[in-house]
Structure formats: C-alpha cells, structure tokens
Amino acid sequence: MRRKFGIVVASGIAVAALWSYVRHSGEGELPPAPAAQSRQSADPVAEEPPAPKVPPVPRLVGAPAPEADATDPVATAKALTSSGARTFLDAAARARATATANELLRRAETASTRDGVEQRLLARKLLAAVYDCPVATNDERDAAYAGCRALFDVLVRGNGAPPEIALRHKVAAGESVWALAKGPWRQAGATVASGFVLWLNDVTDAKRLRVGQALKVPLEPLTIVVRKRAFELSVLLGGAPVERFQVAVGPDAKTPVGAFQAKDCLKNPDWYMNGKRIPFGAKGHIIGTRWIGLAGAPEADGIGIHGTTDESSIGTAASLGCIRMKNADVERLFEWVATGTRVEIRD
C-alpha cells in the first residue's frame, strides 16, 4: 500500500536524532549500583543523567488534530489507556492519543527525572495502543512505530532506563549471559532471550563479557505479532513495537490465526515435507537458515517462522502456511526468541 512521504521522512528524523544521542552518550557503562543493593537491583532513577529530549511524534497527515488536555495530559493518557482497545477503533480517539503523547513528550523535556520517566512511559503506552489498533491507517501506524522506537532508545537502551522496565546487572567473574538468563534474571522477572539482551547492550560476542560490564536487562515481555494482510511481523517489548519485518504468509486460511508459543528453534534446519526429510543445503530445501516452530494449538502443527531461498516471495501470500522471512531477518529474530515466547497471528 502507498504511504505518504512526509510521515516516513518525519519518522526517520525522530529515530535519527535519538540514535545520534545514543551513539554519543557513552552507553557502554552505567553508574555502579549502590553498595546496599545486589548486582541485579536497579539504580535509583534520580542518580541517572537527565534523559535526552524525544522529538515529538509526527502529526498525522489528513487526520484530525485535536489539542491535548493541556491542563492534565497525564490524566488524559491514563483514561485513554485504561479504556480498552475498543476505544482506539475511533479515529478521533487515535488522534487525541497522538496529540496527548506529543504534549507528554513536550513536558518531559523540562520535567524532573521521575516525572519525565512517567510522562514518557505514558506516551509510549498511547502510541503502542495506536500501533496495535486493527483499523489504524498506515500513516498512523508508521508514526506510532517511529515514536515507540524513539522512546525505546531512550527508556530501554538509554542510560536512564527506569527500574520499572529494566534491571541493571554488573558482570562478575565467571558469569555467562546464558546462566544469568536462566537464573538471577529470570528470578527477577526477566523473560527475554539472552540474545535480545546482548543486542540491546551492543555485545557482539557473548563469550567476551567484561568483568564489571554493566548490562541492561528488560523486565517487560517480548511478543511477536504477525499481521497477515499487512505481510508484517512486529517484535513488541511491553506491548510497544521495537522492530518490524516484511514476511510472506500462506494464501487464504493456510496460515492459522491465534495465539501460540515458540518452540523447536533450529539453526540450519532440515525440512520435512509430506513425510520426506530434505537435509539443509540439499536440492529442494526451501526454508532457509533458521526455523522457529510454533506450538499451543493443533492448527500450529507443522507451522513455523523460517527463512527462504526465494526472497522475492516476501510480501506475498506465497508460503504453504508458515511465516516466511528473509534469511538475514530471521537470523536476527532467532536470537531474540526464547522457547515459550508468545506469537500472535492475526488477519
């Protein structure tokens, strides 16, 4: 579908501004935790450096532009986010949510650290609700995605990550990210895959963690959402999008709709078709370099997220029922998914 150029450009500016901040703010090290806290505990937000300014979410082209409640946008945001998903089926409600998010981000620029965090978290919830709305336009979803991604860079990637959504861990001698993910991090409530933690902290080699290295570990759940009509797979953290990929799906109802869980995550997988095994790399093997199987319902049997030998099919209804991705994309997603990760497939 056609998308308006102005939104794409404005969204790109927002993301570029935030990445510029992240790359020049010394994200590799965090302030040490107070001595009275364990390594897994979060530093008080008040001791963090001021959060960077977040560019306003681009105003939606052609959409109503109501003014946010300048008296109390926090109350407005809480009322909207607590009213349920059906509220956002109304275009005026979505426009009001975007305007309120802009007002919250404007106020967060001059607010105290604690108030600024609350305002950014509320703005993120509003934009996530707009993005999740099944009747939102492409322009609305593009703008909401750009805003959520910019806020992710500040609230989760940034040095000011609040303890509500991320814990801090300083690496001790002999620790591995895999053992931490299964042990103390999980006990603290973190369920994200170790690969997502590595990506978040720009760690390219898990075997070379430095003693004393500070890691940010998200406490929010990671979810995958596939929208069949849009040929899109989104990765959500705490309900807010952090990445999205174009995919291929099956025609008609071949790709099941529902809520499933990830299982059987395989590198260089063999392919089984009509009871026949086709080894990875053999002629006729078409599922690419990664396989993320789905479970949780009978209709998920044999269905998975995988790569392809025909990347020209991405963006079409060309699969036999699976969710097909470019190999580079599925290899990236593979590292972010753990057994049990929730996968929602929607029409």
Q: So which residues are the catalytic ones?
A: 306, 322
Question: How do the residues of the chain divide into helix, strand and coil, expressed in percent and rounded to 5?
Answer: 40, 20, 45
Distance CA(5)–CA(19), nearest Å, equals: 21
Task: Give the end-to-end CA distance of the chain in Å, rounded to a whole number.
Answer: 16
Local structure of residue 268 (DSSP, 8 states)? S
Print burial letters for 87-119: b (CB count within 10 Å at least 16), e (below 16).
bbeebebbbbbbbbbbbbbbbbeebebeebbbb
CA dihedral 154, 159, 161, 162 (to 10 degrees): -130
- H/E stretch holding 163: none
Residue 236's closest CA among 222, 250, 246, 254?
A: 222
Joined together, the tokens standing for residue 228 give 């069949």
**HSE (CB half, 13 Å, CA atoms) of 215?**
30
CA 189 to chain centre: 18
User: Are the CB atoms for 87 and 41 separated by under 8 Å?
Assistant: no
* C-alpha Rg value of the chain to the nearest Å: 21
DSSP state of 156: I
